[in-house]
Amino acid sequence: DQGRPIWRNKVGRGGIQGGVHFGMALEGKTLFVPISDMSNPEAETNLHAVPSKAGLYAVDIDTGRMLWSQPANNICNGRTYCEPGISAAITAVPGAVLAGHMDGRLRAYDSVTGRVIWEYDTTREVVTVDGSKASGGSFGGGAGPVVQDGMLFAASGYGTYFHMPGNVLLVFGLPE
């Protein structure tokens, strides 16, 4: 191997925050690719000739062949700074891929099929451990969900660069 590319696969269209914005994840021989494809919300018209491919994709790392794709459904219904894509880093664990979307939803995808197996709306109001109220917003940035000792940690709210504000750290445990 001389360090030359062995394959290329353009998964997303690109946008003001990239196609792949912060990070991919790998489990075995499968590369999971989150796509933002966010358009500029201040532009008067859509400047892209190609439709958005926002969502999550699985690629074989040996061949570059697409294994599955799961386009992001747009559930924003006109909410300001709400986008369906994935800007934040994602996390792969055995059997699942965890992705925080710019629409404020935290989703778990089956790593073999791409089917959504769980989701949580982080934009809803929650009562924190000190009794105050908080809510999340868009997921963004380089820190993806963290899984440790049967718990899932996710920080939601990225109120900059055309994203929905919020500020909450959510911790989920496994069902008993």
Q: Is residue 115 part of a domain?
A: yes
- Count of domains forming the chain: 1
Q: Is residue 10 part of a domain?
A: no
Q: Is residue 125 part of a domain?
A: yes
Please report the pLDDT score of residue 45 as a whole number: 58
pLDDT band at 142; cut points 50, 70, 90? confident
Q: Is residue 14 part of a domain?
A: no
For residue 121, give the CATH number of its domain. Answer: 2.40.128.630
CA distance 41 to 50: 17
Please report the pLDDT score of residue 91 as a whole number: 97
- For residue 55, give the nearest of 123, 122, 109, 112 by alpha carbon: 109
CA distance 31 to 169: 27
> How crowded is residue 132: how many other Cβ atoms within 10 Å of its Cβ?
8
Please provide the average confidence, as pLDDT, over all residues in the chain.
Answer: 88
How confident is the model over 66-115, as pLDDT tens digits? 999 999 999 989 888 888 899 899 999 999 999 999 999 999 999 999 99
Quote the tokens at residue 143: 């820190």
Is residue 140 scored above 90 in pLDDT? Answer: no
Q: Is residue 79 part of a domain?
A: yes
- Where in the sequence is the domain holding 51, given as residue range(s)? 25-169
How confident is the model over 36-70, as pLDDT tens digits? 887 666 655 556 667 788 899 999 999 999 999 99
pLDDT band at 165; cut points 50, 70, 90? confident
Question: Per residue, what are the HEC states of 46-115?
Answer: CCCCCCCCCEEEEEECCCCCEEEEEECCCCCCCCCCCCCCCCCCCEEECCEEEEECCCCEEEEEECCCCC
